[in-house]
Structures are given as structure tokens and as C-alpha cells.
Amino acid sequence: MSLLDVRDLIVRFRTADGTIHAVNGVSFELEAGETLGLVGESGCGKSVTNLALMRLLPKPAGRIEGGQVIFDGLDLLTLSEAEMRDLRGKEIAMIFQDPMTSLNPVLTIEEQLVETIRAHRRVSKADARRRAIALLEMVGIPTPEIRLRSFPHQFSGGMRQRVMIAMALALEPKLLVADEPTTALDVTIQAQVLDLLGRLTTEGGTALILITHDLGVVAGMTQRINVMYAGYIVETAPTPELFGHPSHPYTVGLLHSIPKVTQRDDEELIPIEGRPPDMRQAPVGCPFASRCTWRLEVCWTDNPSLRPVQAGARLVTTGPEATHQIACHNPPTAEEATAGRPVRPGFRPAPAPAGRMDELVLLAEGPA
Amino acid sequence: MTMAPAPAPGDEGGASMPAATPGAVSPASRAGVDGRPLLRVEGLKVHFPIKEGIILERHIGDVRAVDGVTFELRKGETFGLVGESGCGKSTTGRAIVRIYRPTAGRIDFDGVDIASLEGAALRQMRRRVQMIFQDPYASLDPRMTAGSIIAEPLEIHGIGTRRERQDRIRELLPLVGLDAAYGVRYPHEFSGGQRQRIGVARALALDPDLIVADEPISALDVSIQAQILNLLQRLQGRLGLTYLFIAHDLAVVRHISDRIAVMYLGQIVEVASSRDLNTRPLHPYSVALLSAVPIPDPAVEMRRQRIILRGDVPSPAAPPSGCRFHTRCWLRERLGNPERCSAEEPVLRELESGHAVACHFAEDVAGSVEQALVTGRRVPPTAIPAGGDATGGEVFVPGDATSEVPPGTPVLPEAAPGAE
């Protein structure tokens, strides 16, 4: 049995502007000790998925409207608030993007760390303090005895994120969810923090869900990746397979829109035209259709479900042998994935049916 | 509605920009780079005073945001300014458009020192130097229509009649890939990428020679970033613009720039062509910066060895003595902490043609295992530091994998410098 099993998760936000269809039936599994990347642009539902499984959605707007989250045999969505609180931190810990807003500014690091430890473990204050010092030492904070008495604002961004990691790992959780943990940091500090995060989760056998928009970060940090778009998982594969054989047009597009180190000087980037869909409308057809250069007529009306790339392949959902799956009616061939555009002679993306906006045509028309 | 001619997914703006160089834009060989300096910045300093006390303010120190920066922009080129937050790259850009008044130094723009210009002369200069800002949400007035935002520079400079300005708006919108009819819409009706296009149109309104682009894509989603980068490249080819491109993302800067200056704590530590910086970085900080950039290729990431710099960037109010990087430098540590690093400030010296570096020991970076590791040259397995790559074979990192490390490359005595 896997450590985490998310099945058909549906999350919606009821707002004055209408219903936001944030997560539209997401399923994935995670084994103990496995590292999984959740990749996508802002608004794709990657953070909401994570907040939903921690039961931390903003209330009353955010609601889980369907699905199951089974963690270590427990259905998290049926637990009481008290049971859930007991689980958070102890079994599942989180690291957020901005360490300044996730640490309490008026409490010292000592108070926050000791409180975290004593809330879940029956230990004396002195023991908790010793544990806190050991944790700060582990994340590479110099002179931990002294720094323990500091307030969060007395630390730099990278140091604060180290404190967050120390706090998250204080109770040796089975699962650590890191939501854009290094996005607010400079690149040399990002390297420090990622190095630390990778080392500590490997050593402690902690499963890791790494949520990020940065394909470079997940490439080195995860064993498996889910690519999300508009509240759907559109591609899932072991990390080497995803980068070696990207098969969904969106993934292919993402890989071509970032400059590569090996790119020749005169090579232009191939952007994904248009913009992410309006999540206030329930999607009709494939959510990526209006921006996709591979789309067929069927894409405008039928939303493809996640299927193995190799038809008939046995479905493995976790581990390094996990089946490569995509949700696409007309996947790019290997040659096209390399080129970044369709190369079949005479192929044209299917025009939008009446009433649907076609971002490609809008952009291409210009002033004429 | 008709379809765009031929499959042209990368052809952003499509028919709207027929004059743009089709397909390939080669920065190195781009037409218009004629080598004449358009801008020369010499010994530029921008210091911000730190004051104490409420009624009797006392000047107790300075944040030396930019502290003696010298570089040159040739007409038609893209010059990248890269560094981490607080290194002074944005302040440098803002001093050049004279949002800040330089504390010291010269800014020669087309032969005129603009560092101390005032009034009408300054306004006149600003017609030729425009800026694109980072945040397309904060840099557009929400109460003005896209059209009036774009026309505002023309109004300020009293150019054209109302009708002529309207025509100019209808000409600029398609140029940046927006429908000419969008001029009547308000900023909130546009997406982030479209807003940044409006920001670009506004910068183009006065037909400037130089555009200072300060992190123009870092607030945008990954899939949108490439749209704006391509737009900027095409506009340059078409209008013969010169760019000062400021960003923290080395991969992006490398992609768009002809030449790059790496900044650290208010100073330039290395200037080189984009290609040289990529293949032969000569400053220990540049090497570390290159090695820290995550590469979207797991095979490379697994084998690659990072140079993890210790600690944080020191405060620009109290920069370290001597070389400002010496407190975090991996090379200094390797060389047994020579006193020179903390005692003597290194000057920017030209080590190779067009490649200048401010490091006393830059010669030791050339040919080092670290340099090879981050630039993708093959390294003999014996030269890999202990605790590093365990694949046993050659280490390969992308880049220009053409040259071998010369025989006799010193074997590192200890674990990766700076690793904890």
C-alpha cells in the first residue's frame, strides 16, 4: 500500500466572481521515501492540491467537492479537525515559499521550535531545547545555541528557510510537502537550500512532494513528476523519462520556452502562445486546446483522460518504473517534441468551433 | 477568421511583424551592431545615506548600492547585467535613466555626460533612453487606458497632435503583438504577458535608442516569458535598439545578451561575451553562479556537482575589505586564504581580449576543475574531488563540450569547496 493515495480530488472555490474550478479530478500515489515533483504555472492547481490534502484550504470559499486522500491507511478527508491537527507536523509537514510569513514574527526561534516539538511529543522543555539545537545544527545554522534566541527577522531569507526545514523535520514526518521552497531565494542560496533539502529527506527516508514552476529544480530533486495544467494532471512520468521523452504538448512547450544551456545563440525560443484558461468556467474539451499547435477537432469538445503513452502498458503508479501517462488526443511524436512544433506535412491545428476563442488565431491575425 | 500562414507556433505576433528577422536572430552577427559605443559608464557610484534621529538627522553611513562601475554599451547590442538581489544591477539601470542621481562617476550617452544633467537637457536625453519595468501590474496606471498609457510619453514631451498620437498608438500596439483596437481597454482587462507588451509599447513610443529592461520577464509565467523575450529580440532587429538587460536569471541573460557583466555587491566582477562567460568564466563568483543555475535535464543534474557558496551576501552598507567576494570565495579557501584577497581590492583587468575580470587569482580559475565542471568540458575522473561524482566515468555538463582539460590539471586536495 502506498503512503499517500489521492483519488479524483476535486476542489472548487465559491467566490463573488463565480466558482473557480481549481482542481478537477486529480489522482496520484506516493510511496514511502519517494520524491515527487508537482510542476505547473501559477493557477494550475498545484498549491491548491497540496492545501487540500493538508486540509488547509481557505474557508469558507475553498471546498473539497469530491475524491479521497488516503494517507498511511487513513482517509484524511473524514478526520476531525483535532485528529488532523495531530497529524500535521507529526506525519505530514510543510514548507512554504515565503519563510517570513510562515514563521511567527513575535516569537523567538526557540519558542517556535520547542513548541512544535512539545505539542506532539511528551518531552521535557530541556530535552526539547536540546533537540532544537541539534536540528539547527543539522540544517547548517552556525552557533545554534545563540541563534535559538533570535527572532525570525534577524535571519536572512536563506537562513529562515533553513529554520523552516528544521521545524518541518523536527518530528520526523513521513511526508514533507515543499511548496516553492526556493522561489523567493537567490540562486546561490537556492542551491544551498535544495542541497540541504535533498540530503535530509534522503537520509531520513522522508517522502517529498516538491511543488514548483521551475523545471530545473525538479530535474535534480525528484524521481517522478506530475505536470499540471488548469487543475488537471496532463502528464506523469519518472523524471528521466519526462525530460527524455516529453509527450504532452504543454510539457513540450514548457521545455522549449526556457533557454537551454546547450542552445545555440541564434536559436529562438518557442513560446506557448496565448494564456492559461479562465478557471471560472468549467472546461469544455481539453483545457490546453486553445494554445495547442497539435490540436485536432476532437480536442475542442472532448477532454482526454490520463492514459499510458504506450497503449496497453501495464499500469504502475509509483516508483522509478511508473508508467508514463499523458492526457492528449494527438501527442507530439519524438521528432516533434525535439522540434517543438508539429512537423507532419500539411498539418494545421484545428480551428476553433464557433463561440470558442482561439488564442493562436487572435495572435496571428495582427493588423493585417 | 483565417488561419495564420503555415505552422508558425514560434512566430509570435505573426503577420504583425513582417520586417522582423525571420526565424533566426543571431545576437553576435545581428545587423546594427557597429561597435560604436552608445553609452559609457565610468566609475559610477550610487550611495544611499543611512540616517539616524528624527529631528536632528545624523548621517551615520551609506548603503553603497553601486560602488564604482565601468562598462560600455555598443550601438545595437544587448548588454546583460546579472547578479543576485542587492548586487546593484537595478540601481545601475535606474541611474542610467536618471531615476537616481549618481553619487559619483560619468554616464556618457552618445558623447554627453548625463550624470548631472538637469531640467530641459535631462528631459531631452530621456526621450532617447526608456525603461521597461519588472512588474507589469504595478507599472501601469490602473485608471488609464492602454492607449493613454502608451501615449503618455508623447504628451509629456509635447510630441504630435492628439490625432497623430492616436495614430502612433494604433501603430505601436500591433508592433508589440496586440490588436490595434485594444487601446481603449484598461490594464486589468489584460493578462500579465499582455500588460508587459503594453509596457514595451510605452517604452517604444518615443522611438528611443537605448532601452533599459529591468527584470522584464521575471514576474511572468514560464510559458509567457518566452513570448516577451522573442518580442524584444524581434523589435531589436527591426528598430536597431540597444538594450541594457537586467536580470537575476543567468540562463535568460545568456540567451538574450551579446555581452554580460556579472555584478556582486555593487561592483562588476567580470565582463565577457555571452559565449565566453558560458564557456570560460574567470571569476570564482561567476563560476559559482553558473553552477547554481538548475538545469532542466535530470541526467545532467544527477551527475553535476554544485559549488555551494557558504553564507549570505554581506551587507552593502559594510562591504568586506579587499575583494568583496573573499568571505564566500571557494578559490581563496583552496589557495590557503592569501592575505591579498582581504587586503587589496582587485581591479577589473582584461585577461583575454574582451574578457575582463576583477580577481587577483583569476589565472587559477582558468583551467580549474570547477570551471570545467560548470562549463561542460570533460574532466579526467582522477580530477574529481572526493565525495563528488560516483559514476566513475567522465563528468559531463552541457555547454560547449569541445575542449579537454589540459593534462596536469591539479587534483583537488579536499571535498568540494564550501560543501557542508
Contact by Cβ (8 Å): B344, B387: no
CA distance, residue A267 to nearest chain B CA (Å) = 6
Q: Do B296 and A269 touch (CB under 8 A)?
A: no
A341 CB near a chain B CB, below 8 Å? yes
Identity of the amino acid at A194: L
Where does the pLDDT of residue B380 fall: very low under 50, low under 70, confident under 90, or very high at 90 and above?
low
CB contact burial B53-86 (16+ within 10 A = b; e otherwise) = eeeeeeeeebbbbbbbbbbebbbbbbbbbbbbeb
Instruction: Give chain A positions within 8 Å (CB) of B278.
Output: 261
Based on the number of CB atoms within 10 Å of its own CB, is A72 exposed (0-12), middle (13-18) or buried (19 or more)?
middle
In 3D space, the residue among B202, B194, B203, B249 whose CA is nearest the CA of residue B227 turns out to be B194
A78 CB near a chain B CB, below 8 Å? no
A311 CB near a chain B CB, below 8 Å? no
In 3D space, the residue among B380, B14, B79, B76 whose CA is nearest the CA of residue B227 turns out to be B14
pLDDT (average), residues B86-106: 93
Q: What pLDDT was estimated at residue B23? A: 36
Of the listed ranges A60-74, A183-197, B353-367, the least confidently predicted one is: A183-197
Q: Which of A261, A276, A367 sits opposite B16 (nearest CB)?
A: A367
Q: What pLDDT was estimated at residue B383? A: 54
Greater model confidence, B93 or A140: B93
pLDDT (average), residues A349-357: 79
Greater model confidence, A112 or B405: A112
Q: What pLDDT was estimated at residue A262? A: 60
Among chain A residues, CA nearest to B304? A220
Q: How far apart are alpha carbons A152 and A164 in whole angstroms?
A: 10
Note every long-range contact of B47-53, with CB atoms under 8 Å and residues 24 or more positions apart, other chains counting: B47/B103, B50/B317
Greater model confidence, B31 or A83: A83
Of the listed ranges A332-336, B187-191, B318-322, B399-403, the least confidently predicted one is: B399-403
Instruction: Give chain B positions within 8 Å (CB) of A190.
Output: 292, 294
Phi and psi at A130, nearest 5°, equal -60, -40
Give the tens place of pLDDT for each residue, A200-237. Answer: 889 989 999 999 998 989 998 999 999 999 999 999 99
Of the listed ranges A109-123, A325-339, B47-61, B73-87, the least confidently predicted one is: B47-61
Q: Do B24 and A270 touch (CB under 8 A)?
A: no
Instruction: Give chain A positions within 8 Å (CB) of B402.
Output: none
Q: Do B221 and A213 touch (CB under 8 A)?
A: yes
Q: What pLDDT was estimated at residue A159? A: 86
Q: Do B295 and A159 touch (CB under 8 A)?
A: no
CA distance, residue B22 to nearest chain A CA (Å) = 10
Where does the pLDDT of residue B376 fall: very low under 50, low under 70, confident under 90, or very high at 90 and above?
low
Q: Do B1 and A261 touch (CB under 8 A)?
A: no
Q: Is A133 helix (H, G, I), strand (E, B) or coil?
A: helix
Q: If DSSP states are collapsed to H, E and C, what string results for A100-127?
A: HHHCCCCCCHHHHHHHHHHHHCCCCHHH
Contact by Cβ (8 Å): B103, B47: yes
Q: How far apart are alpha carbons B27 and B416 in whole angstroms?
A: 36
pLDDT (average), residues A159-168: 89
Of the listed ranges A42-46, A80-84, B390-394, the least confidently predicted one is: B390-394
Q: Do A340 and B10 touch (CB under 8 A)?
A: yes
CA distance, residue B251 to nearest chain A CA (Å) = 6
A14 CB near a chain B CB, below 8 Å? no
Where does the pLDDT of residue B379 fall: very low under 50, low under 70, confident under 90, or very high at 90 and above?
low
Phi and psi at B187, nearest 5°, equal -50, -35
In 3D space, the residue among B325, B278, B284 whose CA is nearest the CA of residue B87 turns out to be B325
In 3D space, the residue among A24, A21, A13 whose CA is nearest the CA of residue A67 turns out to be A24
Q: How far is CA B402 from CA A264, B29, B284, B372, B375, in A?
A: 14, 22, 22, 11, 10
A347 CB near a chain B CB, below 8 Å? yes
pLDDT (average), residues B228-244: 94
Antiparallel, parallel or unpaired: β B104-109 and B37-52: antiparallel
Q: Do B308 and A191 touch (CB under 8 A)?
A: yes
Q: Do A186 and B296 touch (CB under 8 A)?
A: no
Instruction: Give chain B positions within 8 Å (CB) of A194.
Output: 294
Q: Do B289 and A342 touch (CB under 8 A)?
A: no
Q: Which of A215, A260, A269 sits opposite B229 (nearest CB)?
A: A269
Q: Do A156 and B299 touch (CB under 8 A)?
A: no
Instruction: Give chain B positions within 8 Å (CB) of A196.
Output: 420
Q: What pLDDT was estimated at residue B17? A: 35
DSSP codes of every residue in B52-100: E-SSS-EEEEEEEEEEEEEEEEETT-EEEEE--TTSSHHHHHHHHTTSS
Where does the pLDDT of residue B384 fall: very low under 50, low under 70, confident under 90, or very high at 90 and above?
low
Q: Do A268 and B180 touch (CB under 8 A)?
A: no
Q: How far apart are alpha carbons A56 and B150 in whole angstroms?
A: 43
Q: What pLDDT was estimated at residue A320? A: 87
Sign of the torsion formed by the C-alpha atoms of A298, A300, A305 and A310? positive
A339 CB near a chain B CB, below 8 Å? no
Peptide bond into A60 cis (omega under 30): yes
Q: What pLDDT was estimated at residue B148? A: 95
Q: Do B191 and A158 touch (CB under 8 A)?
A: no
DSSP B317: T
Contact by Cβ (8 Å): A215, A222: no
Q: How far apart are alpha carbons B40 and B210 in whole angstroms?
A: 12
Antiparallel, parallel or unpaired: β A18-30 and A4-15: antiparallel
CA distance, residue B181 to nearest chain A CA (Å) = 9
Question: Residues 6 or more apart from A145 whose CB is under 8 A from it?
Answer: A133
Give the tens place of pLDDT for each residue, B118-172. Answer: 889 999 999 999 999 988 888 999 999 999 999 999 999 999 999 999 999 999 9
Among chain A residues, CA nearest to B30? A266
Q: Give this complex's ipTM.
A: 0.82
Q: Is B121 helix (H, G, I), strand (E, B) or coil?
A: helix
Q: Do B398 and A362 touch (CB under 8 A)?
A: no
Q: Is B364 helix (H, G, I), strand (E, B) or coil?
A: helix
Residue A319 has pLDDT above 90, yes or no: no
CA distance, residue B272 to nearest chain A CA (Å) = 15
Identity of the amino acid at B133: F
Residue B33 has pLDDT above 80, yes or no: no
Among chain A residues, CA nearest to B251? A259
Q: State the pTM of this model.
A: 0.83
Q: Do A271 and B398 touch (CB under 8 A)?
A: no
pLDDT (average), residues B101-117: 93
Strand partners, A179: A211
Cβ contacts from A onto B, under 8 A: 209
Q: How far apart are alpha carbons B388 and A125 in whole angstroms?
A: 40
Residue A147: how many other CB atoms lie within 10 Å: 18
